[in-house]
Amino acid sequence: MRLGDLIGQTRAATALRNAITRHRVSHAYLFSGPHGVGKSTAALAFAQALNCDRPSPDDPAAACGQCRSCRLISQGTHPDVRLISPPGKRETSVIPIDRIRRDLVYDINLRPAMGRRKVYILDPADRTAPFSIHTILKALEEPPPYAVIILVTSRPALLPPTIPSRCQQVAFQLAGIEAIVHHLQTLGLDAPVAAAIAALSGGRVAWAVGAAHHPDVLAVRNALLDLCAGLHARAASGGLRLAEEIKLQALALSQAQNDGEEQTETEDASSESGSAPAAAGGGRLRSDLPWCLDVIVSWYRDRLAAAHGAPLVNPDYAEAVSRRKSGRIAADERAIAAILETKHSLQRNANVDLALESLAIKLLAEPATMRSSSHSERGRAR
C-alpha cells in the first residue's frame, strides 16, 4: 500500500508525502480519526515510504512495495519497524508497560539494523497500561535522529494533552462512499455489490475491504436482506424465531471475521465492525449485532427511498424493495425507529435476547397491521 493509494485520505496522505519529499519528517506523529478509515494502513505505508530501498525515481515518497524492506514491513518482520499493540483481541486489553519500556524506550536506542529510519507504531495509543504515559513521554522527549514514533488513535480525547502537543498531528476522516465504491471495484467486486458494501461501511475503508475479502460477510448481509424481504409472509407470532435468526446471522458474522482475521492487513478491519464501540466484556456478538441491525435499517430506508425515487443503499435488492406496495411510509419509519432504539439499548448493555425479541415482535407487527385489514386475516381472528 502506497501513501497515495489511501482511500479518501488525500489530505493526510499529502501531508505525509510532503514530509518525505521536503525532508521534514517529524520524530513523532499522532494519527487520529474515526475507526477503520486507514490510519494503521497509513502508518505502515509511511514506514515503507521511509525505508524503501527502491523508491520511484520521480516520487521519493512512493514506496516500491517489492524490495526486501517493503516486504518485511508488510509482513510485520522488519527489524526496524515495531508495531506495538495490545495482546489478544479483547477490547479491554492494553499494551503492557513492560512492552513499551522494552520495544520503545529501550529499543529506540538501538541503531537501525537495515533501514534508514526506525518506526514505532503504537496502535491504538489510547489503549496503553495505566501509568505508561510517562514512559511514552520519555521516548517522545529526545528521540535519536533516526526514530519516528507514530501514535494511532480513534479516541484522541483519551490521551493526556501533553502527548498531542509533542506530536505532529495528522487527521484522518471518513472516506467518501464513491471513493470506496471505486476502490472495491478495483478489487474486482461488481458495481451493485461494491455500492452496497460501501454504503454499509459508513466510510470505513478497512471495514469495506474486510467485507470484500470475506464472502461470508456479504452472505450475512444477503441473508439479513432476504429475511427482510420475506417478513411480510411471516406470522405475527414468530417473534422469537425471527430474533433467533437475526442473532444467528450476527454469530455467523463474528465467525467469518474470526476466520479471516489473520489475512486482513488493514486496520482492525473486523474487531469493531459498525458504529458502536463494543461494550466492555460484551463479546463479539455485542459488537457485531449493531452492524446487522444497520443492514436491516438499510432495507427499510431503501423502501422509503424507492417511494421517493431516491438512490438505494442496496441497489442489488431494488426489485425486492419495490415489489412491496408503497403507501406504508409510516410503518417503515416506525420500523427504523424501533431498530435504532434497539441499537441504542444494546449500547447501554441491554440483554441481547430480550432486546432482539422485542424488536422482532415490532417488526412483525407492522406487516400484521396490513394483514389485519384483509378478509382472510379477519376471518382467522374470529
Which residues of this chain interact with other proteins, rule CB under 8 A? Answer: 68, 72, 75-79, 87, 99, 101-102, 105-114, 138, 144, 146
Residue 146 interacts, among other proteins, Zn ion, none and using kind-specific CB cut-offs from 5 to 8 Å, with other proteins
Cβ at position 40, least distance to other proteins in Å: 16
Residue 144 interacts, among other proteins, Zn ion, none and using kind-specific CB cut-offs from 5 to 8 Å, with other proteins
1 vs 175 by CB, closer to Zn ion:
1
Cβ at position 148, least distance to Zn ion in Å: 17
d(CA 313, CA 333): 16
Give the N- to C-terminal CA distance of the chain in Å, as an integer: 66
Residues touching Zn ion, count (CB under 5 A): 5
List, in order, residues 6 or more apart from 197 with CB less than 8 Å away: 180, 184, 189, 208, 211, 212, 218, 221
**Do 300 and 239 form a contact (C-beta atoms < 8 A)?**
no
Residue 250 to residues 62, 106, 203, 213, 314: CA-CA distances in angstroms?
Answer: 40, 43, 21, 18, 19
107 vs 341 by CB, closer to other proteins:
107
Site for Zn ion, residues 319 to 338, rule: CB under 5 A: none
Residue 117 interacts, among other proteins, Zn ion, none and using kind-specific CB cut-offs from 5 to 8 Å, with none
86 vs 274 by CB, closer to other proteins:
86
Residue type present at position 51 = N
97 vs 227 by CB, closer to other proteins:
97
Residue 265 interacts, among other proteins, Zn ion, none and using kind-specific CB cut-offs from 5 to 8 Å, with none
Residue 197 to residues 151, 273, 335: CA-CA distances in angstroms?
Answer: 29, 12, 22
Q: Does residue 52 interact with Zn ion by CB under 5 A?
A: yes
In this structure, how many other beta carbons lie within 10 angstroms of the beta carbon of residue 119?
25
Cβ at position 98, least distance to other proteins in Å: 9
Instruction: Assign 262 to helix, strand or coil.
Output: helix
Written as nine digits, the cell of 94 is 492494553
138 vs 166 by CB, closer to other proteins:
138
d(CA 136, CA 28): 11
Q: Does residue 236 interact with Zn ion by CB under 5 A?
A: no
Site string for Zn ion, 64-103 (x = CB under 5 A): x--x--x---------------------------------
Cβ at position 9, least distance to other proteins in Å: 28
Residue 67 interacts, among Zn ion, other proteins, none and using kind-specific CB cut-offs from 5 to 8 Å, with Zn ion
Residue 110 interacts, among Zn ion, other proteins, none and using kind-specific CB cut-offs from 5 to 8 Å, with other proteins
- Backbone φ and ψ for 30, nearest 5 degrees, come out as -120, 110
Q: Does residue 28 interact with Zn ion by CB under 5 A?
A: no
Residue 368 to residues 16, 149, 360, 362: CA-CA distances in angstroms?
Answer: 57, 59, 12, 10
- What H or E segment, with its residue span, contains residue 28? strand 28-32
Q: By the criterion CB under 5 A, which residues form the site for Zn ion? A: 52, 63-64, 67, 70
